[in-house]
Structure 1
Amino acid sequence: MDQHGQTALPQADTNTEDKLYIYALIRADLEMPDGKLSAQSGHAYTDALQACQRQAPDTAAAYREENGIGGSKVTIKCKNLSQLERAARECAEAGIPHAVVTDRDHILLPHFTGAPVVTALGIGPCTKAQCRHITKRFQSLQGSSGDRGAMSQEVRQELLSAMRGCEQTSGLTIMGHGGMVRDYYRDLLDHLRYGSELRFEWRLPEWIHNPRLVEGLPSDEVMAEYHVFHDVGKPFCRVVDDEGRQHFPDHAQVSARVWRQAGGSAEVEHLIEQDMDIHLLKAEGVQEFADRPYPAALLLTGLSELHANASMFGGIESTSFKIKYKNLSKRGRAILACLSAKEVVPMAA
């Protein structure tokens, strides 16, 4: 509450790239109950910090001193041991402190028989930038207690008000842009799912009817929330240069932080944090992008954003649109090829 008794809007920290985090990467396939999961996460945090103390004592000390109580901790999940081992290798290659957690002598059937079993990987302390190439493949882990996604209506309205009060471009607010992206995505998804006639002007790539694009998407409610709030941090990172032009530095990361501080769901936060990635994707990053939890959702959103923006800047015949469309179309084809390759099962010899 502020001095007037009103709920204070979370303030974005635009220096999030300097903050230190420890991540606990948990194996989802072990189906650990909450108590077991909490214990293994705790081991991951502690063991990683101890590894950092040996490897980089100054970093460990800086982490302990953050906020006077220590830096932030994040729990994320991977599908299986193979993904965890890959993350550990990448930490070693990048020089990031890390620790593999092995549980032994505890019986909790069917996965824990008393034999040694790798349960988690502690990563850090490190900045988000240092480990993003590793952690962005994994989703945040939400506890069954539902401690996330409990944003109050008062805070939600304050965020919407801030978005309405900040222009994306002349005559279009951040809120208005988010609504446009939501509507374009809904238009495209209805067309792909049900064959509905498109309401907006589109240029669709040849891969658009690949069935993998509509498989395993987040719920429609999650996607609508993501689209409306994907630029929620822009009012808090807006700067104006000497020539009067506005910029929104690191707006995807700031938006994810604002959403998290406001009590928004971890699933929407994860999507917001990756919002710009499809537009910046290079050929060498396609496989990593395809390995993420929701590559199709991010790809369809990118296509929707491109068309929503084109409606304001010369339409789909403009040179700017054609350049961006060509790149996105090429990346989309490569992403879908990676997704298809995952489903190919080698025949037994």
Structure 2
Amino acid sequence: MNAPLKINNLSHKYNDHLIFENISLELFPGELLTLFGKSGCGKTTLIRDIAGLSTPHSGEIWIENKMVFGAQNIPPEQRGVGLVFQDYALFPTLTVRQNIGFALKGKNQQRVDELIHKTGLTGLDNRYPDQLSGGQQQRTALARSLAPKPKILLLDEPFANLDSLRRFQLAQDLIDLLKSEDACGILITHNRQDALFFSDRIAILGPGKNASELLQVDPPEQIYKSPQSKTVAHLLGICNLIEGHWNGEALETHLGTLQATDEAALHLQNHQGPATAYIRPEDLNICAGDQFEMSAMHFMGHVFRITCSNKNNRSKSLFVYSKTQPKTSFNIEPIQPVWIIKDNHL
């Protein structure tokens, strides 16, 4: 399978400050990959490098098997990449139709008609941006970026200004559009639910030895259930870290003996010593007993989020989800097997 985008050992410096280093990544046909990480980790800089709007310090970028950065530096207009920004960047004095057709220089109105239909803008083609809702403006920006038929679409927080319902619908439309256009995309978002729900894969950008690095690149379910580090685990939601001793077969903890998933056990081969179980709140069950005491409870709509601690060790809290309001004292049982990694994975 040919990858429309290949990045090899890419690093970026701003003056003498290293933003990220040794980024290697491939993007596959029809794929929507999400770049996820804290503010300032270099996500926007990376897609600007891909688009040619900024210049990396070192490494290579290949688009459609053509080197666009490395031994040569191809200008943005020749890279065949579409861009969609958070603020839409529509021309205020141009209509929807004129905005979409801008990159086509007024030619190929059939292509404009096709995108107006695909993006649900039928009947709005003669309106100006200030006559559109936020969702309609974003659809116009999306259609304009797709007009020249790019193979790669780069999206920087495109849903940030939309409410949850419109964000969900537009994201689903984006996925359908990418497939119908035989294109792939890289999405930047700060919303972890969007990242988990809409992505084919998630690439986590986070702190490395000298600068930001790719910490993990995997499908959403795998990266959520089997994070390779504490940083990745906490970026994607609440996670209980249960420390213990791996005896070669199981992890001995204050919650009892925990069995490892097959993948975790493979990584733990030939290891005996400190290890940590990573358990999401939904993977802990409340049961009868009085070993744990509740310290806080918050109603989240579909579940209660319970904060509790072991009566014999109140220094560390655990988080549990419960569909019903529990008593103040109870026991906790993990759903086994669990994800366990060695303690040197920070």
Q: Which structure is richer in relative contact order (CA contacts within 8 A, separation 6 or more)? A: 1
More strand by share: 2
TM-score normalized by the length of structure 2: 0.26
More helix by share: 1
TM-score normalized by the length of structure 1: 0.26
